[in-house]
């Protein structure tokens, strides 16, 4: 769906080869760009501590959200487009109201920078992954700003987290991709041996894509943990990876400045 780059402007790519539009506005690096659930809007997180909501189809900047004290690392919008959750290097996770642009709640609990944050299916839980080797889950429905669960079995910084209906999957720099099955009460550790930067789920939810810092993207079977495929194409580190929601293709971005589409 989206990829991140360290350019000074967010470039939305509708088609794999043509740059359709350039969304300029951020002062400094853009750390992450995410589409919302229906794909009509995209959100960009910048090193300038702001979040910007764009309409990529028209190229207009809809709103700017300023509240973070340090760079914003990730953002996720709820399925009803009413709420946003963003995390940053200031150890805070902000829960925004989209229309008013105000922070409804600040989730605290991480001891260090927060790398990734996600809503769950019902927008009731916010799960975040941080540099402090933990994955924390926060409850949106209650009034508390403390985590309801902390997972600290990781050995190193957790770089990304994704949620399914019944699982929390997180990839960490210690080389493991851990799946926490809530229904089974089980933690499955898949040790890949290389630091995992970013993970993504295939659209049939059977496969897990893990992007490792040795410039390879590994396709794992979620149920067995078997390595199905390795993709080596980028010359340098792959920074982000994403799967198409409907088609069977995958998008990766890298430090070498290129975005690749894989089938």
**What pairing do the DSSP bridges indicate for beta strands 93-97 and 83-88?**
antiparallel
**Which residue of 45, 162, 220, 241 would you call a contact of another protein, by CB under 8 A?**
220
185 makes contact with another protein (CB under 8 A): yes
Contact status, residue 196 vs residue 175, Cβ threshold 8 Å: yes
Residues in CB range of 190: below 8 A, 6 or more apart? 176, 177, 178, 179, 208, 220, 225
Nearer to another protein, 224 or 246 (CB): 224
**Which residue of 180, 211, 215, 240 would you call a contact of another protein, by CB under 8 A?**
180
Residues 10-49 that bind another protein (CB under 8 A): none
Nearer to another protein, 27 or 226 (CB): 226
Count other Cβ atoms within 10 Å, centred on residue 57. 14
Task: Give the total of residues touching another protein (CB under 8 A).
Answer: 38
Here the contacts of 20-29 (C-beta below 8 Å, separation 24 or greater) are 20/56, 21/56, 21/59, 22/59, 23/52, 23/54, 23/56, 23/59, 23/61, 25/52, 25/54, 25/61, 25/64, 26/50, 26/52
**Which residue of 181, 237, 259, 262 would you call a contact of another protein, by CB under 8 A?**
181
Nearer to another protein, 31 or 85 (CB): 85
Nearer to another protein, 31 or 196 (CB): 196
Place of tokens 């009803």: 80
Nearer to another protein, 178 or 260 (CB): 178
Residues 223-252 that bind another protein (CB under 8 A): 223-227
Nearer to another protein, 131 or 138 (CB): 138
* Least distance in angstroms from the C-beta of 64 to another protein: 10
60 makes contact with another protein (CB under 8 A): no
Residues 113-172 that bind another protein (CB under 8 A): 120-122, 124-125, 137, 139, 141-142, 148-149, 151, 153, 165-166
Q: How far apart are CA 251 and CA 232, in angstroms?
A: 13
- CA 45 to the chain's CA centroid: 11
Q: How far apart are CA 207 and CA 62, in angstroms?
A: 35
| List of residues contacting another protein (CB under 8 A) | 120-122, 124-125, 137, 139, 141-142, 148-149, 151, 153, 165-166, 175, 180-194, 218, 220, 223-227
């Amino acid at each position: 769906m989206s990829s991140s780059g360290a350019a000074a402007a967010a470039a939305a790519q509708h088609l794999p080869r043509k740059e359709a539009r350039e969304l300029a506005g951020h002062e400094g690096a853009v750390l992450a760009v995410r589409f919302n659930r229906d794909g009509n809007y995209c959100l960009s997180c910048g090193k300038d501590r702001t979040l910007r909501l764009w309409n990529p189809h028209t190229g207009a900047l809809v709103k700017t959200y300023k509240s973070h004290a340090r760079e914003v690392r990730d953002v996720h919008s709820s399925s009803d487009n009413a709420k946003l959750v963003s995390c940053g290097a200031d150890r805070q996770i902000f829960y925004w109201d989209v229309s008013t642009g105000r922070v409804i709640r600040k989730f605290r609990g991480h001891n260090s920078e927060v790398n990734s944050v996600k809503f769950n299916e019902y927008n009731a839980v916010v799960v975040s992954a941080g540099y402090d080797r933990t994955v924390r889950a926060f409850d949106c429905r209650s009034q508390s700003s403390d985590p309801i669960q902390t997972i600290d079995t990781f050995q190193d910084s957790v770089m990304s987290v994704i949620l399914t209906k019944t699982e929390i999957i997180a990839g960490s720099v210690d080389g493991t991709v851990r799946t926490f099955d809530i229904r089974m009460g089980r933690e499955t550790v898949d040790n890949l041996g290389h630091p995992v930067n970013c993970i993504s789920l295939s659209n049939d939810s059977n496969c897990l894509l893990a992007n490792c810092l040795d410039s390879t993207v590994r396709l794992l079977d979620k149920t067995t943990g078997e390595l199905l495929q390795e993709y080596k194409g980028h010359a340098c580190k792959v920074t982000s990876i994403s799967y198409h929601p409907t088609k069977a293709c995958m998008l990766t971005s890298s430090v070498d400045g290129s975005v690749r589409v894989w089938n």
